[in-house]
Chain A
């Protein structure tokens, strides 16, 4: 009897594998920060990914896309571990990874050890990833942290009249890149940066950092994200902080603007810059927001997609369009797919995106201001739209290369 059942099971599984064989699959590995400080960012990234699948479907010619998701915690080793696991155990052929800056640098370096596979960056934004020694099989359809700050320095100097600012940021590559973009423009316009404070990613107690903020500045720039940003704002409120604020791209973002509690109200009126603006009236953007809202019940999403959702959406879209262009042909070490991906021009919800010679996005940037919609929800409102932002931020490549790589102290506060 037992033997009979076993036989039946074996037969059934044989039949099932036969069905699977008939339809060839393309396996894609996806990573997101589903644990640690950036959990909320990873979750919304996955919503953007799902929104893209809802729109485009999983079919590529007669092949079906199959996705395997792995979780990381924003540290480079967790990202490499997840990517290795996806490749070695799950046998994925294409990677949609990773989310965070340091992860991006690590995954790019890893991509060089697997030149036959294709890596599409999901959302990471450190400059080094595509600027220094780029991997030929690594494609990034989002701008880097410095590109996402274009416009902010001038707006702060000219429109808001800020002359001296201090910065507080998480101590890793993406925020270095963001501060890099801010400092170049703000100091180039004539402003001064009086101090730069760096806190470890995952800091819980900001009380001493808040106490150390200088009093004699016009505004304070916050380059924090996820749980860190919420903790900071909460403790800033408890300490009675009242300074003018400037925000980085993941600080003024729905991941923070939709946080529970009223500490986030400190951000009302804050100016920021990012690859998107919540209230942009462009029809493509509005359609994307509707798709996102329709894909999830209101309590399981933000009122409007975060920057991470948009990045994952764009990366997924680019990958599927690229695969369709070559009809799912992954032969010859995926060379056709790679050529197609490099040539794609995305008509993305947040403006047109095309890739440069390093396979890095050239796109549109937005200067925004945080507004209250009157019902307690906060949104970023467009103040300025800047198209065609490239990785050297409009500088001559030779001049740009002399500035150095973003770090705690680079760039110096001067006109380059």
Chain B
């Protein structure tokens, strides 16, 4: 941190000013001139919160994607299909049992098992052949998409939000002050906050697992040099299967999240595959903090874009991606 400031004092200052401005925009009561030029504060604040919560969902999907790539150098293009399948499993479970939490667990386990099976049956046989792996995953994603269309049809599915989480909650952010001097606080959907919290907890758990545990150490060593790690007697194939299962399971769980505050339908698999690709390209392939930063940037860009420049909102995300590729092609937080 201090080294960064010493090396790039200009950039550090710019970042500091941007952060201060953002904090002021979020916490201060907006003067009338700003409201006129920029719209109401409630809209801005909601868009920021929505961007962050959407970023949480993108992080859940992309973290598994980046983990698998980091360790196995396998660009797993079936990741979107795993997301969608997890959502469908979650839907079936929540309809059958009525339990939202159980649907997370089932989606995680079932999709993790599928991920493990894919690693054992398919990718182990073509290890190290990156182009072939990529082609195989494209093929599998098409097959999965058609199988799911066959089984679940073209209809859209939504998982019922548990009754306790329906409705808004008041947050301690002032959006406006009434003429009587009474402050108006931001109303925000509770379920999105819960989901954001879950994403943060999972993110921290993954970081701790990777940086503070023995298995995490093995995975990190594998990311750096697979062959040496294998030569030291670690059962690398088992690690591969576990990581693939974890990454797939996270995608499955994200499917349940997506089905709760958005909806599931054919085509969502591609949308989330694309989102994860953009997220990891921005954040840096193989890096968990990179996935978190990338997800946050993409989520904010989508939501702020949809409010302030609705017509071009779709382009913003890709502009950011192009910019990152041009300036820092390895991604913002890439290790190497």
Contacting pair B167 A211 (CB below 8 A): no
Query: Chain B residues near A5 (CB, 8 Å)?
Result: none
How would residues 306 to 334 of chain B score, 1 for a CB under 8 Å from any chain A CB and 0 otherwise?
A: 11001101100000000000000000000
Query: Chain A residues near B271 (CB, 8 Å)?
Result: 204
Query: Chain A residues near B43 (CB, 8 Å)?
Result: 208, 211-212
A239 within 8 A of B: yes
Q: How far, in whole Å, are A261 and B271 apart by their CA atoms in the complex? A: 24
Option from A43, A208, A211, A231 in Cβ contact (under 8 Å) with B263 = A231
A36 within 8 A of B: yes
Contacting pair B161 A238 (CB below 8 A): yes
Q: How far, in whole Å, are A234 and B160 apart by their CA atoms in the complex? A: 9
Contacting pair B263 A234 (CB below 8 A): yes
CB-CB nearest in chain A for B190: A238
Contacting pair B189 A239 (CB below 8 A): yes
Query: Chain B residues near A238 (CB, 8 Å)?
Result: 161, 166-168, 189-192, 261
Option from A197, A200, A207, A239 in Cβ contact (under 8 Å) with B314 = A200
A240 within 8 A of B: yes
A223-238 residues with Cβ-Cβ distance < 8 A to B are 226-227, 230-231, 234-235, 237-238
A203 within 8 A of B: yes
Q: How far, in whole Å, are A34 and B267 apart by their CA atoms in the complex? A: 12
How would residues 103 to 118 of chain B score, 1 for a CB under 8 Å from any chain A CB and 0 otherwise?
A: 0000000000000000
CB-CB nearest in chain B for A260: B158
Q: How far, in whole Å, are A223 and B43 apart by their CA atoms in the complex? A: 21
Q: How far, in whole Å, are A330 and B166 apart by their CA atoms in the complex? A: 59
Given contacts A39-B156, A40-B155, A240-B168, contact A208 B262 (CB under 8 A): no
Contacting pair A207 B168 (CB below 8 A): no
User: Which of A199, A208, A209, A237 is most buried by chain B, counting CB atoms within 10 A of its CB?
Assistant: A208
Q: How far, in whole Å, are A227 and B43 apart by their CA atoms in the complex? A: 24
User: Which of A203, A212, A261 is most buried by chain B, counting CB atoms within 10 A of its CB?
Assistant: A212
Query: Chain A residues near B262 (CB, 8 Å)?
Result: 204-205, 231
Q: How far, in whole Å, are A214 and B190 apart by their CA atoms in the complex? A: 21
Query: Chain A residues near B187 (CB, 8 Å)?
Result: 239-240
Q: How far, in whole Å, are A316 and B102 apart by their CA atoms in the complex? A: 47
Contact segment of B29-37, B46-54, B282-290: B46-54
CB-CB nearest in chain A for B265: A227
B175-224 residues with Cβ-Cβ distance < 8 A to A are 187-192
How would residues 235 to 257 of chain A score, 1 for a CB under 8 Å from any chain B CB and 0 otherwise?
A: 10111100000000000000000
Query: Chain B residues near A67 (CB, 8 Å)?
Result: none
A110 within 8 A of B: no
CB-CB nearest in chain A for B165: A238
Query: Chain B residues near A226 (CB, 8 Å)?
Result: 156
B144 within 8 A of A: no
Q: How far, in whole Å, are A211 and B265 apart by their CA atoms in the complex? A: 25
Query: Chain A residues near B161 (CB, 8 Å)?
Result: 234, 238
Contacting pair B191 A261 (CB below 8 A): no
How would residues 39 to 69 of chain A score, 1 for a CB under 8 Å from any chain B CB and 0 otherwise?
A: 1101100000000000000000000000000
Q: Shortest CB–CB separation between residue A146 and chain B, in angstroms?
A: 23
Contacting pair A240 B189 (CB below 8 A): yes
Option from B168, B302, B306 in Cβ contact (under 8 Å) with A239 = B168
A156-204 residues with Cβ-Cβ distance < 8 A to B are 171, 197-200, 203-204
Contacting pair B313 A200 (CB below 8 A): yes
Q: Shortest CB–CB separation between residue A236 and chain B, in angstroms?
A: 10
Contacting pair A197 B310 (CB below 8 A): yes
B128 within 8 A of A: no
Query: Chain A residues near B310 (CB, 8 Å)?
Result: 171, 197-200
Q: Shortest CB–CB separation between residue A32 and chain B, in angstroms?
A: 10
B173 within 8 A of A: no
Contacting pair A211 B42 (CB below 8 A): yes
CB-CB nearest in chain A for B264: A227
Q: Shortest CB–CB separation between residue B300 and chain A, in angstroms?
A: 11
B74 within 8 A of A: no
B78 within 8 A of A: no
Nearest first, the 7 closest Cβ-Cβ pairs linking A and B are A211-B46, A39-B154, A240-B168, A238-B189, A207-B50, A204-B262, A208-B47
What are 23 residue pairs bridging A and B, where the CB atoms are less than 8 Å apart in the complex? A35-B154, A35-B266, A36-B267, A39-B155, A39-B265, A42-B154, A43-B155, A197-B310, A199-B310, A204-B262, A205-B261, A205-B303, A207-B50, A207-B53, A208-B304, A208-B307, A227-B156, A230-B158, A234-B161, A237-B167, A238-B167, A238-B168, A261-B158
Enumerate chain B interface residues (CB-CB to A < 8 A): 39, 42-43, 46-47, 50-51, 53-54, 154-158, 160-161, 166-168, 187-192, 261-263, 265-267, 271, 302-304, 306-307, 310-311, 313-314
18 other A-B residue contacts (CB within 8 Å) besides A205-B54, A211-B307:
A36-B265, A39-B265, A171-B311, A198-B311, A199-B310, A204-B263, A205-B303, A207-B192, A208-B46, A208-B50, A208-B51, A208-B304, A209-B306, A209-B307, A211-B47, A226-B156, A231-B158, A238-B191
